[in-house]
């Protein structure tokens, strides 16, 4: 496992979390390589979101190791420290700052100092317009940059949140159900976007939409009852009998 560890951007080993006796994660182990694109599937309650909570510091695991970038122990850090290490997260429900413009949402996300004192004294007036421009053009919201984020459609909010993630320039992006509420065309665009940013960033996508997962064309991990049920190509995973039983259906 040691070579796995040093080559990995995210390394989970025997992670368990229980809530009031319910085991949300049960000896969960899997490894994501640097720059890898990975899809996580699984039925409701399989532990997908809990896994993201553990990685981003929202939930502390009862036991097990969570290691980032080959050496950083994530179990002792909180959300903002983990975000500063270079892990970005998109929530299942799109979460943007409704009362600020699209541009300001991105500005707040752009990597750089985050302390309260620096923010009082002109911090980030030097953020290059280019960084914002770049993010805006990737998520195609350039024409709407002065709109309040709260006035965007559901799909546009999803994209804005992905844009904020990109502006953070993280090493690892955790993306929870990015295409929920999107039209087919938007779903295709999102798949294209995520495959294009993988490589430079590692991307872990949780999604139920199987045609979307197929479009991502990457390694798939299927979770069930807090542990890995199957892992491999989309074809091998979807042909797996147990995956069909618990998740895909016959």
- Binding residues for other proteins, rule: CB under 8 A, are 56, 58, 79-80, 83-84, 88-89, 91, 95-100, 104, 107-109, 114-117, 119-125, 146-148, 150-151, 164, 168
| Cβ proximity of 72 and 85 under 8 Å | yes
Tokens linked to 131: 């960084």
Q: Name which of 76 and 151 has its Cβ closer to other proteins.
A: 151
Q: Name which of 178 and 212 has its Cβ closer to other proteins.
A: 178
Q: How far is the CB of 132 from other proteins (least distance, A)?
A: 14
| Cβ proximity of 210 and 38 under 8 Å | no
| Cβ proximity of 176 and 90 under 8 Å | yes
Whole-number Å distance between alpha carbons of 81 and 227: 27
Tokens linked to 18: 């229980």
Q: How far is the CB of 181 from other proteins (least distance, A)?
A: 18
Q: How far is the CB of 207 from other proteins (least distance, A)?
A: 19
Q: How far is the CB of 239 from other proteins (least distance, A)?
A: 36
Q: How far is the CB of 227 from other proteins (least distance, A)?
A: 26
CA 170 to each of CA 35, 84, 220: distance values in angstroms, whole numbers, following the listed order = 11, 8, 22
Q: Is 198 strand, coil or helix?
A: strand
Whole-number Å distance between alpha carbons of 234 and 236: 6
Angle (nearest 5°) at CA 59 between 57 and 64 = 90
Q: Name which of 56 and 240 has its Cβ closer to other proteins.
A: 56
Q: Name which of 120 and 185 has its Cβ closer to other proteins.
A: 120
Rounded-to-5 percentages of helix, strand, coil across the chain: 40, 25, 30
Q: How far is the CB of 104 from other proteins (least distance, A)?
A: 6
Q: Name which of 63 and 124 has its Cβ closer to other proteins.
A: 124
Q: Name which of 27 and 111 has its Cβ closer to other proteins.
A: 111
């Amino acid at each position: 496992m040691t070579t796995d560890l040093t080559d990995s951007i995210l390394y989970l080993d025997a992670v368990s979390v229980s809530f009031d006796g319910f085991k949300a994660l049960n000896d969960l182990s899997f490894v994501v390589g640097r720059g890898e694109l990975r899809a996580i599937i699984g039925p409701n309650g399989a532990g997908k979101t809990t896994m993201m909570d553990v990685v981003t510091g929202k939930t502390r695991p009862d036991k097990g190791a969570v290691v980032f970038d080959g050496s950083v122990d994530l179990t002792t850090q909180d959300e903002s420290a983990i975000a500063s290490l270079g892990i970005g997260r998109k929530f299942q429900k799109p979460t943007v700052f409704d009362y600020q413009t699209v541009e300001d949402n991105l500005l707040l996300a752009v990597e750089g100092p985050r302390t309260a004192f620096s923010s009082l004294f002109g911090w980030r007036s030097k953020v290059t317009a280019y960084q914002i421009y770049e993010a805006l053009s990737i998520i195609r919201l350039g024409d709407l940059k002065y709109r309040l984020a709260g006035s965007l459609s559901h799909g546009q909010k999803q994209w804005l949140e992905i844009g904020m993630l990109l502006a953070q320039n993280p090493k690892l992006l955790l993306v929870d159900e990015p295409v929920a509420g999107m039209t087919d065309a938007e779903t295709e665009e999102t798949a294209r976007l995520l495959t294009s940013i993988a490589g430079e960033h590692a991307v872990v996508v949780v999604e139920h939409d199987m045609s979307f997962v197929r479009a991502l064309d990457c390694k798939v991990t299927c979770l069930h009852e807090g542990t890995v049920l199957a892992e491999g190509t989309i074809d091998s995973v979807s042909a797996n009998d147990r995956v069909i039983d618990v998740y895909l259906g016959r």
